A and B are shown apart, each in its own frame.
Chain A
Amino acid sequence: MNSRLSARAKVGLYGVLCLLAVPFVFPTWWMVTSSVKPVRDIFAFPPSLIPTEASLSAYRRVFELQPFAQQYVNSAYIAAVVTVGTLAVSALAGYAFARIRFRGQQVLFVVVLVGLLIPSEVTIVPLFRMFHSWGMVDTHWPLILVPILGAPSVLATFIMRQFFIALPGELEEAARVDGLGRFATFWRIALPLARPALGAVAIFTFLHSWNLYLEPIVFLSSPEKFTLPQALTQFVDAYGGPMWDVQLSAASMTAIPVLVIFVIAQRQFIEGLAHTGLKG
């Protein structure tokens, strides 16, 4: 399969790849270009792939209609806290399940793994009632606590465990002979070696929190507490119809920064996700 291809096969292959790439690339292009088009041109036929005149007025209206800057901060800080928290919880638990022998380990691991099997939609009703009784509805607490400690972090713990299991044990043995305790061994020896796995976990945890939609719309009701996915759907006119230019401007501002980071660091992104944890 890896043999050299003839020139004709190469041209054909490029053609197929370019054609297949259209649905992956065109939406993002169309989102950004449409967001700067004047409203009257948005549904023009034939569609113009490159806007003839550009205006940022829809971008201004995003901030007039919603506390969008605040919503941006909400999403960013929640995703940051969830990412750091998940890394801490999953690295500790993953290390212990992989490296420390203790009674009850097998049973407790199975107990934790149950979280992998449970779609968050299944537990949303009781979680709503729990947070309701704790007075935490319409706060960010459910969006922070549940991902860090609940089902979403279980996958992270599993990936960290798989990584630590594959790590050669000699370094740690040496550290322990030198009198390092368990936590010091973990912190100074194992954790620095786990950087690729931590990177992969950080990436998918951040994306998961950044994309969360069901939980915000269930738990949050004040616009200044909304997160971005929820805010994006709020740009509607008096009849409930979408204000396309404003929605697309807000969507562009949500999508582009992450996309830029991805393009810069795409190798770490893709290879990190492919080669750590999920494979084993």
Chain B
Amino acid sequence: MSVLTRDTAGRAGDRPAPGGAAPPGRRGWWTTRRRDQLAGLLFIAPQLVGSVLFVLIPLGLVVWYSLHEWNVLADTFEFVGADNYRAMAGDPNLPSVLWVTALFSVGLVAFNLSLALLLAVLLNQRLRGTVLFRTLFFSPVVVSLVAWTIVWGFLLQDNGGVNGLLGTLGLDGPNWLRGDTTALLSVIVVQVVKNVGLNMVLFLAALQGVPAELYEAARVEGANAWTRFRRITVPLISPTILLTSIITVVGSLQVFAQIAVLTQGGPGTSTTVLVYYLYQRAFQFHQFGYGATLSVLLFLIVLALTVVQWRMRRRWVFHEQ
């Protein structure tokens, strides 16, 4: 690698290594192509080393650990073959955990995407003050996640703000976080209100790219608002729908802090989703081997869902970029 030190003309703001001051197109061994090869590798080196060290190796290790029993307290680490996978197949909690995870994800994605689209369409009207409303709808995105969750935990107490507001309207609200269904519903709503602003902004940008002539033409043909929305808006923004749904589906499987703070997985196991169960097993019960096995399961689910959505794009995404 002695060539590295050859071209070190110390220009201000120039890094020595990728051949800063070499005249362009110089002949000989140190060609532009070789310099680009080195520069490219050096530029991506931090990201590449980081990906290998903190993504790929841990991913391999997770599979490796899932074949072991690791006891932190006794400091033992022994190979147990497929025992953890057998334990997973026979885990009496797992069917409920997967069912709750599915309900949670489906509810969250459906609610998030439809609300985001609704807000975007409303804000895309010719109306004064839409910037103010856009700011309001987006603001929870920048509020610290745990702070947001704590406030909602406070609001959803039996005698808290939500039931207080309902009470002034003469309604009797339930004890939200103590009932199986209402607890799951609460976590979904808290999460959607927190993050729907992001998808709303992406939809809004997409809607502004839909040419107005199309709507005019449809109106002349006598298409009503709903038909125009279904036949023009949805197909034209379908690439954004695909992008946001992939982001939201993967994100829905990663919801942890909200559940840890609001319900700790309860009441019972009615809000114990897979990531929370994984955390409990690994870091509260110190079953790291089994925790790793659940991590493998989580990864396979994320991978499968992403592949399915990506393949579905051919079926319903109107045009590719």
Contacts and interface: CB of A to CB of B under 8 A. Distances in A.
B204 A274 contact: yes
Nearest to B232: A1
Nearest to A187: B13
Interface string A204-222: 0001001101100110000
B43 A122 contact: no
A179 B19 CA distance: 10
A269 interface: yes
A244 B154 contact: yes
Interface string A7-34: 0001001101100110111111011001
A202 B165 CA distance: 38
**Size range of the interface on B?**
35 or more
Contact of B298 (A20, A24, A93, A121): A121
Contacts of A267: 131
Interface string A82-102: 000000111011011100111
Contacts of B138: 262, 266, 269-270
B155 A258 contact: no
The dominant DSSP class at the A interface is helix
A58 interface: no
Contacts of A274: 201-202, 204-205
Interface stretch (B95-103, B104-112, B249-257): B249-257
Interface string B134-153: 11111111111111101111
A201 B21 CA distance: 31
Interface in B19-75: 19-24, 35-37, 39-41, 43-44, 46-59, 61-62, 65, 70
Nearest to B146: A229
Given A123-B58, A149-B47, A117 B127 contact: no
B161 interface: yes
Interface stretch (B85-93, B175-183, B299-307, B311-319): B299-307
Interface string A241-266: 01010011011101100110111001
Contacts of A88: 46
A27 B148 contact: yes
A142 to B, nearest CB: 9
Contacts of B202: 274, 278-279
A143 interface: no
Given A17-B133, A149-B53, A96 B21 contact: no
B14 A232 contact: no
A188 B140 contact: no
Contacts of B145: 211, 213, 229
Contacts of B160: 43
A21 B137 contact: yes
A184 interface: yes
A82 to B, nearest CB: 12
B275 interface: yes
Contact of A93 (B46, B193, B278, B296): B46
A55 interface: no
A233 interface: yes
B47 A263 contact: no
A275 to B, nearest CB: 6
B290 to A, nearest CB: 10
Nearest to A157: B47
Contact of B47 (A112, A145, A186, A266): A112
Interface of A: 1-5, 10, 13-14, 16-17, 20-21, 23-28, 30-31, 34, 43, 45-47, 88-90, 92-93, 95-97, 100-105, 108, 111-112, 114-115, 117-127, 129-130, 145-146, 148-151, 153-154, 157, 176-177, 179-184, 186-188, 207, 210-211, 213-214, 217-218, 228-230, 232-233, 242, 244, 247-248, 250-252, 254-255, 258-259, 261-263, 266-267, 269-270, 273-275, 278-280
Closest 10 CB pairs of A and B: A149-B50, A150-B54, A102-B40, A96-B43, A181-B20, A47-B164, A126-B61, A251-B147, A123-B58, A213-B257
Interface of B: 7, 11, 13-15, 17-24, 35-37, 39-41, 43-44, 46-59, 61-62, 65, 70, 119, 121-122, 124-127, 129, 131, 133-148, 150-155, 157, 159-161, 164-165, 167-168, 189, 193, 197-198, 201-202, 204-206, 210, 212, 215, 219, 225, 228, 233, 240, 243, 250, 253-254, 256-257, 260-261, 275, 278-279, 282-283, 288, 291-292, 295-296, 298-299, 302-303, 306, 321
Given A2-B126, A96-B44, A248-B150, 8 more contacts: A93-B47, A111-B51, A119-B298, A125-B291, A151-B51, A213-B145, A229-B147, A270-B134
11 contacts: A24-B137, A104-B41, A111-B56, A114-B56, A115-B51, A130-B57, A149-B53, A181-B15, A181-B19, A182-B36, A274-B204
